[in-house]
Amino acid sequence: MYTLQLRDGRKLGYMRYGAPGGRPVFYFHGLPGSRCEGLLLDEPARALNVQIVAVDRPGYGLSSLQPGRQLLDWPQDVVALADALGFDSFGVLGVSGGGPYVYVCAHAVPQRIAAAGVVCGLAPVTDRTLRQGMRWLARSAFYLAQNRLLLLHVVYGQPLTWLARMHSSLPLRLLAQLNGEPDKSVMLRPDVLSALTQNIKESFRQGPRGAEHDLQVLAGEWGFQLQSIRKSVHIWHGDVDSVVPSIHSEYVHSCLRDAQLCIVSGEAHFSLPVMHRTEVLRTILQAGTW
């Protein structure tokens, strides 16, 4: 694990996986999440000569909290890390809640992006149709993030932090049962469950504020229009995803000028990023203008 001190004094936590010296791809984790998610890409990245730089967003893992941050603040942190690591160009890959962070980089710093990919990514939940397609728990969390922050902390933040620290595998096992097949078969695999357990513990290393602020950022206006993105983006989504329904990626695809959408039959929210990780990395590698 590593940290970079930014100009404003904050620390940015990250971890490197895959092939040292390979083509660099920044990995943006889900919500909640941490740099530890990148471990699931380590083996295929090594085989494809890709180095994964998995970054903790503010308030998660080793990264300092950034009160009042907006989605448009993220590309500055990414560019600062890329400069520190000596990358002129790099790929970006986001999963679930990490998807919007790919889109904002493609909008704000397209000249630095070699290739962009999003797997089962979140679309703007200010759109009622997109929000209504999600589970009640997710809808209520986004509502509270916009309207009742203290209640969000009490109802979601504090219990999740306790679970993450004391019984970190329990919420994952419950989620696997709730999601059903095919997520269940993938999430309960020992290697995947171990990585996700480590990830959830690290997500709440500093407490719940990182996740709460992340919800707040993604629940509101993103600060840019998807139609403004000129960079090509590859998008994958499972057709049985019950966490972030595929309508999210279909909506984003309809807005983007240059996007390739792949709806994967029989895959869900956790199964898709694991079962198709080699395909995703290979596509990003081949599409890149390194």
> Domain limits at 101?
2-287
- Sorting pLDDT into bands at 50, 70 and 90, what band is 189? very high
At 126, is the pLDDT very low, low, confident or very high (cuts 50, 70, 90)?
Answer: very high
The C-alpha angle 33, 110, 278, rounded to 5 degrees, equals: 50
pLDDT in tens, 83-121: 999 999 999 999 999 999 999 999 999 999 999 999 999
Is 90 exceeded by the pLDDT of residue 288?
no
94-110 burial, b at 16+ Cβ within 10 Å, e below that, comes to bbbbbbbbbbbbbbbbe
pLDDT at 60 over 90: yes
Q: How confident is the model at residue 31 (pLDDT cuts 50, 70, 90)?
A: very high
| Alpha-helical regions (H) of 32-169 | 42-47, 74-85, 99-108, 128-132, 136-147, 149-152, 158-166
pTM reported for the whole predicted model: 0.97
Q: What local confidence, expressed as pLDDT, does residue 254 receive?
A: 98
Domain count within the chain: 1
Residue 50, pLDDT > 90, answer yes
Provide the CATH number for the domain around residue 209: 3.40.50.1820
Q: What is the mean pLDDT of the chain?
A: 95
Spatial distance between the Cα atoms of 235 and 108, rounded to a whole number of angstroms: 19
Would you give the DSSP letter of residue 154? Answer: I
The pLDDT of residue 1 is above 90: no
